Amino acid sequence: MKIAVVGAGLVGSAWAIVFARAGHDVAVYDAVEGGADRAIGLIGDRLKTLEEVGLIEDAAAAGQRVRVAASLADAVVDAAYIQESVFETVEQKRQIFAALDAVVGPETLIGSSSSGIPASAFTDHVGCRERCLIAHPVNPPYLIPVVELVPAPWTAAATVQRVRALMESVGQEPVELTREIEGFALNRLQGLLLAEAWKLVADGIMSVEDVDRTVSAGLGLRWSFMGPFETIDLNAPGGVADYARRFRTMYETIAGSRGVDLGWDDALIAEVERQRRVALPADRLAERSAWRDRRLMALMAHKRSSQDPAAG
């Protein structure tokens, strides 16, 4: 399968690695003179490093699957999928999608690496808009696999399904949003944590170093292999609903102190409980808690064995 990467900066180069590593032929195009050629060098260096640490078997073979396209039309001809990663402004994205619309094939899907601009802001004017969506990575995607798939109001459901299947096939972990929302999901989650981190420093409650340590040596350890809902599901004997009932008042007070409505009403708690019990039946909570502990033990052993001596 041929993949086109349009925009050969750090994000585009990283996407090329993802697809080439998975065995696809990748055509890289950048409108800036020499941009794609510079990307080829970066891609080769990163592939060698991945091979050195055992994350890829044949860096040379993967590198040979990446080529510089002579033009935008050359890049996208016969491509099954295009990953757009141009500079993040509405104007630039509208221009590139208009250009793509003029040369793209009738079945080609187009994902944008946009980290905050919704697809509705730059695909409303193109004929291929049903085949366009956001495919927002966390950089670098060849190391951090989550990809946010965000449809515009006119994105076809089949487009989301096909892009999800492609991302899964190349080793990524796609997550779907049902509709556009400012900042998508990842940045909204990160943004609220950052807001509180800055406020704790601003209020003189904690130092910057200790806020970082609270996450890196606390929350981040569990969150590195399971999300916030599974974390609290395993932190009360009766699961997530039990946790919500025990701690809702405390969290409401915290949220209220920041002018935020927590919103944990009984209906929402019941829905979260329903989804968690589909993922993990109640009679397996203890088993999963033991799994969590084993993962944490392995993680701590890894951190100890790889600790930077200079860090003390």
What's residue 310's pLDDT?
Answer: 53
Domains of the chain: 2-176 (3.40.50.720), 225-311 (no CATH)
Q: What is the pTM of this model?
A: 0.92
What's residue 96's pLDDT?
Answer: 98
Query: Do residues 289 and 234 touch, judged by C-beta distance below 8 A?
Result: yes
What's residue 306's pLDDT?
Answer: 82
Tokens of 119: 């697809």
> What is the average pLDDT score of the chain?
96
Share of the chain above pLDDT 70, in %: 98
Q: How far is CA 118 from CA 18, 85, 136, 155, 256, in A?
A: 23, 14, 10, 12, 30
24 pLDDT band, cuts 50/70/90, is: very high
- Look at residue 309 and tell me whether its pLDDT is greater than 80: no
Sequence-ordered list of residues with C-beta below 8 angstroms from that of 306, at least 6 positions apart, any chain: none
pLDDT digits (tens, 9 = 90+) for 123-164: 999 999 999 999 999 999 999 999 999 999 999 999 999 999
Among 83-97, 270-284, 293-307, whose mean pLDDT is lowest? Answer: 293-307
Residue 68 φ/ψ, nearest 5 degrees: -85, 130
- Please report the sign of the dihedral spanned by the C-alpha atoms of residue 117, residue 121, residue 126, residue 130: positive
Sheet holding 25-29, edge to edge: 66-68, 25-29, 2-6, 81-84, 109-112, 132-137, 146-151, 173-176
Mean pLDDT value of segment 264-268: 96
pLDDT digits (tens, 9 = 90+) for 217-255: 999 999 999 999 999 999 999 999 999 999 999 999 999
pLDDT digits (tens, 9 = 90+) for 180-212: 999 999 999 999 999 999 999 999 999 999 999
- Look at residue 261 and tell me whether its pLDDT is greater than 70: yes
**DSSP helix, strand, coil percent of the chain (3-state; round to 5):** 55, 10, 35
What's residue 312's pLDDT?
Answer: 45
Tokens of 301: 């052993």
307 pLDDT band, cuts 50/70/90, is: confident
Residue 151, H or E segment:
strand 146-151
107 pLDDT band, cuts 50/70/90, is: very high
Report the C-alpha gap between 130 and 108 in whole angstroms: 11
Label the pairing between strands 146-151 and 132-137: antiparallel
What's residue 308's pLDDT?
Answer: 61
Beta bridge partners of 150: 134
What's residue 141's pLDDT?
Answer: 97
Query: Do residues 161 and 141 touch, judged by C-beta distance below 8 A?
Result: no
